[in-house]
A and B are shown apart, each in its own frame.
Chain A
């Protein structure tokens, strides 16, 4: 397949679809969008078939075109096991989301579908880019369509949510840009002012692994910037608060993609860039990140317990689940990282499905308040069955895909430090608690008066909805029973990333700098508490702004 630029094809097929939609009447928007997404999906599957898992750690199907020669910036794409998985996840969830949008989205379909397809371009691009500059561009491209999707087709408080989403993400990503540039320059400076390769992923990685790698101070700062960008995206505690808002306000498909793919960008970034470029800094930061991950795991679960809104609950559960991803990555153990990657894929499938399911209810009731639900099992048995399936999948029921990733992460964590694993494992209880409690309140008991008031609107899942959910169910079962499919593909990537990071050694941190940093943090908190009265009714104020 040497001649065919298959990666570019996958990346830009959705764009072609978007352009086509732009020039066709809006009645064609839906079929064309679905067609484009399906086509992309099929090509991505072909890619997966053509991919050589035995060389999974190496980049395959690479494409390389000089782009901005002045800085050695290239249009360079390539796929390894890690990116392959995430690309296929993206293409899969994309068409499912588009299909799931057919009914709920009734206004400005053209714009919606265009946004969605451009979003897909950005997401795939992030996973395939092998040039840091290109990576950044795709990273930011993701932002805009998502901003529109939440902002235009979202719920009542959508504007607050979408602006928060964008601003939050931008803060991180712009600092990351600084880090990318700094890294490139360090490379250039080390190569006698030659820009060639300064943005090239493989060249930078090789440089990082050679000799002392990048300068320790640069590493600390650049990794810090990358960390912030990725941590916000993941999102890690305490950078997670944009997520519940964004999820609650986003349309169903937006939530699916948000949870299914966007959060994965962070995890992907950590593995691909954070560890390989700045191994020493990664080692330095790892303990803190592990602690934050543990907090996120437990904290997300506890807060999920008391959520009154279905989507918020699932959103907080994402915080908890994604905590496993960061935990798995930063313990620097093969099992942990493999678990983390599996967890990313599985969280994408399961949480994506949960959002679809919440969407199904919302479609019928225009409500997501758990308190008003109840007794759905009697009226929507098929729905409740599927719902239950994914609830248990999310709770990490063995045999379904969620379990394997979680358990591998825990095994890795245990060999890193049993106490870490113990804390993280504790979430098995909390996870079951909030998920089952939600399930019980929604599905069992007598039909609530609110729901019975809806009368015949409360129909069971439609064939289209089943069509969106069935593939996810199949994958969840398949990956639960045969996780080897995924593991074989990622083993190589994991080994490489770990080889990179384990070649590093933690950098001694100036205690003074640490104290200043923590002091600044404390100051912000104090400022916040002092100014508490000013924030009353902020949501409405923001919204009217």
Chain B
């Protein structure tokens, strides 16, 4: 097993190196090695996951040391991997979706001249992401943290000729870096506090001693780590990069910007749960930012017309849910939602890719409509995904979202719950708006393109269906406490996932003092479920009324006039939503305009003041030399007078020295 764990990450990097080296010459065969690498990696991961979840590594998990990475005296970092149940759960999501996206890309990217490059990058990403979840020390995680940023940069900017893509990739990397600064400082703080950067050891130290005894308060450490998470998971105010990241090819959006990388922040906070548990103030911040991001993004998603951007804001919103869960202490729920969301959002993105493919790279939903019959596989899978995200039981999203809201309410965060419920309405609304605009009603597709619309090849639709399955069932499976799955993994109690993660959260929960309340279907939980389902239905129906519906017998056209009237009723909100609350403009003002002015001023300062002093000294020297040269008139008598005056001064100065010593 020790050799298998490193292999999970090693295979993709090998695939990357191989493809980077020779991929250019492989043409349309370039995908074979990368896909195979990820497939084998997936297989191994599944073995490892199974071993871990069945207790094969014990409660503490298993670490594998490769070499001493940074042996700088007291600062000693090992290059090592670590697998416990949390890692295992993440491995499921990462490798599975990763593999499916790889397969999907074979079809999706088949006509791109950068085919080999794409697979190379994807492999690099897989390596980075796996390193992130497998890393044994904070610094390893940080390395992976940056590497996923790099791969994200490369993939967003994949179509480098497109200026918008290049800009978006740069923006993504830099905004991420903002978060990374926090993360890096957090790591330093951990080292200063504990003298180690091994994750488990440092957490043990941080949580075992009295909190005030540390040079850096634990709350600060927690917030710094959270800053890193905010960057990677695009939480407000660092959310601005994610929508722009949609400039990348759609499989990338699915894999990185929906299913895996953006979840890294959630993983980080979950991993550091005892630290957060020790700092309740920090947790409130996490919850607040999370739920605020959720509603902010949802509000924007309601009016966007670019199909991928809707999904992107939706992702932001769902990530906000997860952080809200983390903030209130519902860590299991957060990871639960991470998993389900990974699958259904991956599905939705891949589906949107299929749609975009079908209508010849058109992303504007206003130029779609009525596609349900023309691309049925895509339609049905996306419908499943939408229902899942809307939170309609018994699909996956219902379970996880409901658990978040329920826990928030039960743990005393009513405000989180209240906002969360509102977001749930909006979620259902914008998702069915998306479905309505895209698949139902009359076709608004460009007449030239209309006849060429076709369903995607099987290499793309099969992954869609493979993702639809967990979108349908995963919630049920993971939340279901009873047989047959529970006993298989040797678990009883609140649910499969909760059981798996219990060892991970054990310490944190103890510090928090939370105890999982008994699930009461006919008590408070039932009411909350009802509310959840109700609001989802409300949102859904509202979307149907405005944008139409065509499910089975339910048929109804859209109502654009009413949409307009409604938007005119709340002009400010509408414009704010349409303009994404002007965050891009604000950033432009602050960083490009004002920041640029500052930089330009400093450059002026450098060239004129700092260098000016240097040159000024030189110039003054030279000028004074020129001035002194004037003394040299060429006339002997002038010289002689100078000498005579010098003589007088000399006499005078010696005269001053007469007398005693």
Residues of A whose CB lies within 8 Å of any CB of B are: 164, 167-168, 237-238, 240-242, 299, 302-303, 305-307, 334-335, 338-339, 375, 377-378, 392, 397-399, 403-404, 407-408, 410-411, 414-415, 418, 421-422, 425-426, 428-429, 432-433, 436-437, 440, 443-446, 481-484, 487-488, 491, 494-495, 524-525, 527-529, 531-532, 534-535, 538, 542
Contacts and interface: CB of A to CB of B under 8 A. Distances in A.
7 contacts: A303-B602, A338-B72, A425-B184, A487-B71, A495-B73, A524-B617, A528-B613
A238 B188 CA distance: 29
A26 to B, nearest CB: 36
B598 interface: yes
Contact of B620 (A302, A440, A446, A531): A531
B352 to A, nearest CB: 25
Contacts of B157: 444
Nearest to B171: A436
B contacts with A: majority SS: helix
Given A411-B191, A418-B216, A532-B612, 14 more contacts: A237-B610, A241-B606, A303-B603, A338-B72, A339-B72, A377-B161, A397-B146, A408-B75, A428-B181, A429-B181, A433-B174, A482-B69, A525-B609, A531-B616
A399 B143 contact: yes
B170 A440 contact: yes
A398 B69 contact: no
B599 A306 contact: yes
A397 B144 CA distance: 10
A71 B180 CA distance: 55
A487 B70 contact: yes
Contacts of A482: 67, 69
A392 B150 contact: yes
B477 interface: no
B29 interface: no
A527 B162 CA distance: 50
Interface in B53-84: 67-75, 79
B602 A408 contact: no
B139 interface: yes
A398 B142 contact: yes
Contact of B177 (A164, A299, A429): A429
Given A397-B150, A440-B166, A528 B71 contact: no
Contacts of A378: 160-161
Interface string B590-604: 000001101110110
B189 interface: yes
Nearest to A171: B617
B160 A335 contact: no
Given A335-B73, A429-B181, A527-B620, A535 B166 contact: no
B173 A432 contact: yes
Contact of A407 (B139, B611, B615): B139
A225 B139 CA distance: 39
B22 interface: no
Most buried by B among A164, A428, A529: A428
Contacts, number: 182
A397 B142 CA distance: 10
Interface string B100-143: 00000000000000000000000000000000000000010011
B158 to A, nearest CB: 11
Task: Indicate the size class of the contact surface on chain B.
Answer: 35 or more
B192 interface: yes
A528 B608 CA distance: 9
B192 A414 contact: yes
Given A334-B73, A535-B619, A432 B177 contact: yes
A410 B139 CA distance: 13
A538 B619 contact: yes
Contacts of A408: 70, 72, 75
A412 B292 CA distance: 36
Interface in B549-567: none
Most buried by B among A432, A443, A488: A432
B170 A436 contact: yes
A469 B624 CA distance: 48
B74 A334 contact: yes
B610 A238 contact: yes
A445 B161 contact: yes
A514 B66 CA distance: 53
A245 B455 CA distance: 60
Contacts of A481: 69, 79
A334 B72 contact: yes
Most buried by A among B70, B147, B157, B617: B70
B620 A306 contact: no
B613 A338 contact: no
B179 to A, nearest CB: 10
Interface string B609-640: 11111111111100100000000000000000
Contact of A335 (B72, B599, B613): B72
B367 to A, nearest CB: 26
Pairs A-B, 3 closest by C-beta atoms: A398-B143, A444-B166, A414-B188
Nearest to B621: A167
A392 B567 CA distance: 45
A542 B617 CA distance: 13
Nearest to B596: A306
B163 interface: yes
B174 A167 contact: no
B623 A415 contact: no
A418 to B, nearest CB: 6
B300 to A, nearest CB: 25
Contacts of A240: 610
Nearest to A399: B143
Contact of A307 (B162, B184, B603, B615): B603
A444 B163 CA distance: 7
A542 B188 CA distance: 48
Contacts of B616: 524, 527-528, 531, 534-535
Contacts of B44: none
Contacts of A445: 160-163, 166
Contacts of A429: 174, 177-178, 181
A520 to B, nearest CB: 12
Contacts of A542: 615, 618
A398 B146 CA distance: 7
Nearest to A410: B188
Nearest to A446: B161
B538 interface: no
A407 B216 contact: no
Contacts of B153: 436
A426 to B, nearest CB: 6
A425 B70 contact: no
B378 to A, nearest CB: 31
A398 to B, nearest CB: 4
A414 B191 CA distance: 9
Most buried by B among A302, A410, A437: A302
Nearest to A436: B170
B160 A525 contact: no
B614 A491 contact: no
Nearest to B615: A538
A303 B166 contact: no
B185 interface: yes
B375 interface: no
A446 B166 CA distance: 11
B167 interface: yes
Given A397-B147, A414-B185, A524-B613, A436 B72 contact: no
Most buried by B among A306, A375, A398, A535: A398
A529 B79 CA distance: 55
B332 to A, nearest CB: 31
Interface string B181-213: 100110011011000000000000000000000
Nearest to B160: A444
A267 to B, nearest CB: 17
Contact of B185 (A421, A432, A495): A421
Given A414-B189, A436-B174, A484 B181 contact: no
Contacts of B73: 334-335, 338, 491, 494-495
